[in-house]
C-alpha cells in the first residue's frame, strides 16, 4: 500500500519508527470496539501518550469521522483552538497541504480584559470572540486544556447558533474536565470526538487532528 507523502514522517528512519510503534500498539492493544475508520485516530492518541487507556476512553459521535474528513478535504478549514499549544503542535506542512490554518485568542488583550471585567475565564472569552468573528462556523474546534472553553462552545452551539464542523473535546484536569466532556457527549447535532473522564490534553487534540489529516490524504489518493 502506498504511503502518504505529506502526513508521514519526513525520513525513512522516522517513518520506520512510527510504523513500528503503530504495529506494537496493534499487537498489544487487545480487543476494541472501534471501527476501521475510528481506530487510526485512537491508535495515534495511544502513540502520543503511550497510554492504552484511550482504548475505551475515546468516544465518537456517529458522524464524527465523516464530518472531520469532509472538513479537511474541503480545504481551507480553520482549526480554532483553546490554547496556543495546539496551534504550535500541529504540523504546518500537513495543514498547508489542505489549505488549513490555526487560530487561538486566549492571549488577546481584549479577551483578557473581558475575562477580568466579567469574572469569567480567558478561555470562555476566547470562544466568544471566535464566535463573534464568525470563526467557529465550519471549523474544527480543538479543546485540550480548558473545560470552560468546551462548556462555552456547547453553549454557543445551543444558544447562539454556532455550527462547527467538528469538536475535538479533550480538556484535561480535575475541575469540570470530565463534566464538560459528559456534556459534549449529549450533543447530537454537532459531531464530536471526546475522551471520557479526567484524562486529555492538547497533545491528544494534536494527535487526533493529525490522524484526520493522514486519513484525508489517503482518502484523496484512493
HEC profile of the chain: CCCCCCCCCCCHHHHHHHHHHHHHHHHHCCCCCCCCCCHHHHHHHHHHHCCCCHHHHEEECCCHHHHHHHHHHHCCCEEEECCHHHHHHCCHHHHHHCCCEEECCCCCHHHHHHHHHHCCCHHHHHHHHHHHCCCCCCCEEEECCCHHHHHHHHHHHHHHCCCCCEEEECCCCCCCHHHHHHHHCCCCCCCEEEECCCCCCHHHHHHHHHHHHHHHHHHHHC
Active site residues: 47
pLDDT in tens, 152-179: 999 999 999 999 999 999 999 999 999 9
Q: What is the pTM for the complete model shown?
A: 0.94
Tell me which fold the domain 12-221 belongs to.
Answer: Rossmann fold (3.40.50)
Each domain of the chain, given as residue ranges in start order, spans 12-221
The pLDDT value given to residue 10:
67
Which residues of the chain fall short of a pLDDT of 70? 1-3, 10, 12
The pLDDT value given to residue 1:
42
The pLDDT value given to residue 18:
83
Amino acid at each position: 500500500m502506498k504511503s502518504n507523502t505529506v502526513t508521514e514522517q519526513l525520513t525513512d528512519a522516522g517513518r520506520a519508527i512510527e510504523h513500528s510503534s503503530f504495529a506494537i500498539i496493534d499487537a498489544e492493544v487487545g480487543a476494541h470496539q472501534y471501527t476501521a475508520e475510528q481506530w487510526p485516530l485512537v491508535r495515534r492518541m495511544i502513540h502520543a501518550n503511550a497510554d492504552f487507556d484511550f482504548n475505551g476512553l475515546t468516544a465518537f459521535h456517529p458522524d464524527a469521522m465523516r464530518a472531520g474528513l469532509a472538513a479537511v478535504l474541503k480545504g481551507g478549514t480553520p482549526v480554532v483552538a483553546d490554547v496556543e499549544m495546539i496551534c504550535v503542535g500541529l504540523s504546518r506542512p500537513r495543514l498547508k497541504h489542505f489549505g488549513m490554518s490555526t487560530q487561538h485568542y486566549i492571549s488577546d488583550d481584549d479577551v483578557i480584559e473581558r475575562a477580568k471585567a466579567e469574572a469569567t475565564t480567558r478561555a470562555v472569552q476566547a470562544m466568544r470572540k471566535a464566535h463573534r468573528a464568525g470563526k467557529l462556523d465550519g471549523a474544527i474546534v480543538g479543546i485540550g486544556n480548558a473545560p470552560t472553553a468546551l462548556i462555552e462552545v456547547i453553549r454557543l452551539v445551543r444558544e447562539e447558533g454556532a455550527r462547527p464542523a467538528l469538536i475535538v473535546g479533550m480538556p484535561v484536569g480535575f475541575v469540570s474536565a470530565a463534566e464538560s466532556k459528559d456534556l459534549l457527549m449529549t450533543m447530537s447535532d454537532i459531531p464530536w470526538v471526546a475522551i471520557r473522564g479526567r484524562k486529555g490534553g492538547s497533545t491528544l487534540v494534536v494527535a487526533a487532528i493529525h490522524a484526520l489529516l493522514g486519513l484525508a490524504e489517503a482518502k484523496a489518493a484512493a
